[in-house]
Amino acid sequence: MSALRLSHFQALLLFALLVSIALGVLSRRAPKEQVKYAARSLFWFLIIGIGIGWLMYPFSR
Amino acid sequence: MNDEIPAGHPAEARSSAAVYDDKRAAILAAAAWLVPGLGHAILRMWIRALACLLCVGALVLLGAGMRGNLFTWQNADAFSRLGFVADAGSGVFYWVARSVENAGPDVSRADGDYGTRLLAAAGVLNLLAALHVYEAARGRKA
């Protein structure tokens, strides 16, 4: 099987999405609360991931 | 004074779900570890069962597809053994990942490195789900 090729952002997005859904479903009871928690978690995963990426940018070359 | 039990309170969980003894709850947790989603399905928590199965399955398939490093118990150092514990947390999906990744890992590229993290995250999430099943079966969580 040939290796799956994803960009850094695609990998981050898929990871954040799947982990956020699982955390939301496991940590909250009401469906509405689960969706809210997953959305908030996804948002912070992306913001912090991209933020850390930019912080490391000066050291990458 | 309002006598209603607030949403999310442990007492509410006890009133709505069957409470199992310690041994049965541990068996349920083991089932949840072995087959992601099975423990929640037995407790009739269908959405959680489906979400666990799909999220853990997708993370494992993506990680293996990206040729992430799947650790084995034979690794010499402690960190690799810790990696094995995380990977093995995904239960039967550990062997699914082994069969998908027949060409072996390739961590010389960023994809392979990300794949390693995805495989470990799948295992850790499934262990969290198994712990949730144990707590729910004991009536402490719903």
Reported ipTM: the value is 0.88
Distance to chain B for A6, nearest Cα, Å = 7
- The answer for A 2-61 residues in CB contact with B (under 8 A) is 3-6, 8, 11, 14-15, 18-19, 21-23, 25-26, 29-31
User: Whose structure tokens read 């960009």?
Assistant: A7
How many Å lie between the alpha carbon of A41 and the closest alpha carbon of chain B? 15
Residue to mutate among B16, B66, B100, B140, with most A CBs inside 10 A, is: B66
Q: Between B109 and B52, whose confidence is greater?
A: B52
| B10, pLDDT greater than 60 | no
Task: Read off the amino acid at residue B130.
Answer: A
What is the mean predicted confidence (pLDDT) over B61-87?
90
Q: Which residue has the tokens 């199965």?
A: B53
Q: Is the pLDDT of residue B103 over 50?
A: yes
- B56/B54 Cα distance (integer angstroms): 6
Closest-CA residue of B relative to A38 is B51
Instruction: Please tell me the distance from the alpha carbon of residue A40 to that of residue A46, in angstroms, as a whole number.
Output: 10
The answer to whether A38 touches A27, Cβ cutoff 8 Å, is no
Contacts of A19 in chain B (CB under 8 A): 55, 59, 121, 125
pLDDT score of B20: 84
**Looking at the complex, does the CB of residue B100 fall below 8 Å from at least one CB of chain A?**
yes
CB atoms within 10 A of CB A3: 18
Inform me whether the pLDDT recorded for B12 exceeds 80.
no
Mean pLDDT of B35-44: 95
